[in-house]
Structure 1
Amino acid sequence: RELWIKNDTMNPTWSFKDRVVAVASSCARQFGFETLACASTGNLANSVAAHAARGGMRAVVFIPHDLEAGKVLGSAIYDPTIVAVNGSYDDVNRLCSELADARHWAFVNINVRPYYAEGSRTLGYEVAEQLGWRKPDQCIVPMASGALFTKIYKGLSEFADLGLIDDAPVRMYGAQAEGCSPIATAHAAGTMNVRPVKPRTIAKSLAIGNPADGYYALKVMEESGGGAVAVPDPEIVAAMKLLAECEGVFAETAGGVTLAALRKGLAEGRIDPEAATVIFITGGGLKTTDAVEGDVSRPIQIEGSLRSFEDAFAAAGG
């Protein structure tokens, strides 16, 4: 059995979004934009704010009003203009689509999206290289808009077309939270029509109820022989803890979704346990501490003496 973790929690703003924003911000500067903007569930806002600061651009980021405090702070430190919209991510995205017509701003995931999305191909490139110039048998990827899922597949396919890796098939499995699983629901129903939903999940970075690339994600599943798995919030938290306790990787809720989807897919016989598998962990856990703070151990309180420690440690089962 061969299971690999592609860990993107170590990027400059602790998520895979630094890949896509690096491409989008470079293109925005080439096109003469002075303001970098986005609609975001958190990670993208962090990356846009950081890249704008580094590139000497103005940043305006739009987020849902109920975003995790850690992600808001992760943007605010770079001193952008942060606009919290009273609504879901889909409401935020609709507003930004209108603003993209009204303002000469580079919205990385709207009017610069064709360049932005291609940045995710680098995950596919790196996986092939890190596996010794070969494809994995299957990939488990978290899905929000679906763009990351499709571009990882595209990156692997491009390397195969160039002859850098073999042309063996790779099955692509998308992971979503049950509280926001429009792509997984469409796949389970055997339809290519993705019906919008109202997100209700702790995995807020995946809480896109009307995914822009949902159709294309379903096409990749069909072409690759993969599928989609949706998991409930308690299984997401359990997977976050398991990943931390067993591998020392503190992932955000999206990472919990990915591992939980793998576990569920294996239990249901939908995912091959003998295949070489890569799971994608796309963001760091310090962004979503509220999801697990009630499920972790608390400090042992003692006085500053050896006796106090020994007594308390023994009482705690040490």
Structure 2
Amino acid sequence: MCRECGAEYPPTLIYACEECFGPLEAVYHLEKIEVSRETFRYRPRTVWRYRELLPLDDEEHIVDLGAGYTPLRRCEGLADALGIKSLYIKDDTVNPTNSFKDRPSSVAVSKALEFGAEAVGCPSTGNLAAAVAAHAAKAALPCYIFVPANTELNKVLQAAIYGARIVAVDGTYDEANRLAAQAAEEYGWAFANINLRPYYVEGSKTLAFEVCEQLGWRAPGSIIVPLGSGALLCALDRGFRQFKELGLIDDAPIRLIGAQASGCAPIADAFKAGSDDVEPIEHPETIAKSLAIGDPGDGFYALKAIRGSGGVAESGSDREILDAIRLLAETEGVFAEPAGGVTIAVLK
């Protein structure tokens, strides 16, 4: 269904509303879903334990590498260092390809199989490339990855090892995204964050489900989320709301805090300026390459969710990000990439 005009569409490969070009999202008839806390007790500890709340009709098409149900680490050392009473970190570095992108990729590639797609792929700044490529390999589907030419080599190599064909674009992520969209339309390929996007983003909300379950069926008072396109924060917001509507958690407020790198912070800049317009960053400059999305597709909706929750959006410099990575490693023994370090930098 279109977020803007409310137009409805049957499940298909589609990128945007054909009426107003607004973004689309999956719709669930929550009143028909019968689940309780006990429902999940003995289910496999992956994103698919929440299968009633994921957009797949036939479980035979599930492509599952074991993503999800990652540790929720209580960080007493980091909390003490920052003067915070209670602090937890959701550690998605232990996912199959070492990032949260395994969650939406599992859903996207599963949906591609259900649609009978001949190939899958994505534009990416790194993490999504590896995640989609790994799940495509498991599904025995050809995979095409479009990346900016300056993407970190280890990210590209990881995707290539899974058998993906890499298309290096001499430009920014946004330019790679446009070229990938053209290829998907021309060849009918199923691209995770393009024509599979309404389904793909649903995988990320499992982070919200797990946090609530791991906190003893309680929601956190505040949550800090790294912002690239803004889709992750929107997905978490949607996940918390769905659990509330199903009566799985209490209807308590959850403050959403968005974190960006200063060298590419269009959402945080708009928030601090009191604006609803997210002005694109033409040339992102930050070590947090996986967040270097100058024209965030869900920026407006992320802003709306942050403000509606009473939250904030802030940014950290590259120096602050590096210091945050070191602090997390020294206090908790967790080594995060720059996109994860951004959250600690903003928390400080």
**TM-score normalised by L of structure 1:** 0.82
Match of 1:178 in 2: 262
1:15 aligns with 2:99: yes
Q: Give the equivalent residue in structure 1 for 2:181.
A: 97
The answer for the alignment partner of 1:305 in structure 2 is none
Shift of 1:167: 0.6
Secondary structure, aligned partner of 1:51 = helix
Counterpart residue identity of residue 231, structure 1: G
The equivalent of 2:227 in structure 1 is 143
Encode CA deviations 1:243-285: one digit per residue, 9 max, x unaligned.
Answer: 111111111001110100100xxxxxxxxxxxxxxxxxxxxxx
Which residue of 1 is the match for residue 34 of structure 2? Answer: none
Which protein, 1 or 2, shows the higher relative CO under an 8 Å CA cutoff with sep ≥ 6?
A: 1
Residues 16-69 of structure 1 show CA distances to partners (whole Å, capped at 9, x for unaligned) of: 011001111011011110201100010000011101110010011011101111
The runs of 5 or more residues in structure 1 that have no matched partner are 264-318
The Cα shift of 1:205 comes to 0.4
What SS does structure 2 have at the residue aligned with 1:192? Answer: coil
Between the two proteins, the alignment pairs up a number of residues equal to 263
Q: SS at the partner of 2:145?
A: strand
1:199 paired with 2:284, answer yes
Q: CA deviation at 1:80?
A: 1.1
Once the two structures are TM-superposed, the CA of residue 6 in structure 1 deviates from its matched residue by 0.6
* Matched residue SS, 1:9: helix
CA displacement, residues 89-116 of structure 1 (integer Å, 9 cap, x when unaligned): 0110111122222111001100000000
CA distance in 2, matches of 1:73, 1:242: 28
Q: Distance in 2 between matches of 1:245 and 1:222?
A: 33
Q: For 2:135 and 2:184, locate their aligned partners in 1 and report how far apart those are by CA, in whole Å.
A: 19
| C-alpha distance in structure 1 between counterparts of 2:159 and 2:170, whole Å | 18
Instruction: Spell out, residue by residue over 1:128-179, the C-alpha distance to the aligned partner (whole angstroms, 9 max, x if none).
Output: 0011100111000000000001111111111111111111100000000000
Partner residue in 2 for 1:158: 242
Structure having the higher Rg:
1
AA in 2 matched with 1:55:
A
Mapped pair 1:24 → 2:113: no
In the alignment, structure 1 residue 246 sits paired with structure 2 residue 331: yes
Matched-pair identity in %: 57
Q: 2:261 is aligned with what amino acid?
A: A
Question: Residues 299-314 of structure 1: matches in 2 within 5 Å?
Answer: none
Q: Which amino acid counterpart does residue 292 of structure 2 have in structure 1?
A: A
Counterpart secondary structure, 2:176: helix
Structure-1 residue corresponding to 2:11: none
Give 5+ residue unaligned stretches, structure 2: 1-84
Shift of 1:209: 0.1
Corresponding residue for 1:111? Answer: 195
SS in 2 for 1:119: helix
Report the equivalent of 2:136: 52
Give the corresponding residue for 2:153.
Answer: 69
Q: Separation in 2 of the partners of 1:74 and 1:146?
A: 25
Tell me what 1:219 maps to: 304
Alpha-carbon distance in structure 1 between the residues aligned to 2:116 and 2:215? 39
- Spell out, residue by residue over 1:204-241, the C-alpha distance to the aligned partner (whole angstroms, 9 max, x if none): 00000000000000010111000101110000000001
Letter of the structure 2 residue corresponding to residue 229 of structure 1: E
Whole-angstrom distance in 2 between the partners of 1:245 and 1:22: 32
Partner of residue 206, structure 2: 122
Distance 2:302 2:131 in 1: 24
The residue type paired with residue 93 of structure 1 is: N
Q: Output the CA distance in 1 between the equivalents of 2:136 and 2:245.
A: 35
Q: CA RMSD in A?
A: 0.7
1:33 aligns with 2:113: no
- TM superposition shift of 1:73: 1.4
Q: Which one-letter code corresponds to 2:312 in the other structure?
A: G
What amino acid maps onto 1:257 in structure 2?
V
CA distance in 1, matches of 2:236, 2:141: 29
Greater shift in the superposed pair: 67-76 or 4-13: 67-76
Matches of 1:27 and 1:172, distance apart in 2: 29
State the distance in 1 between where 2:304 and 2:137 align: 37
Q: How far apart in 2 are the matches of 1:229 and 1:130? A: 27
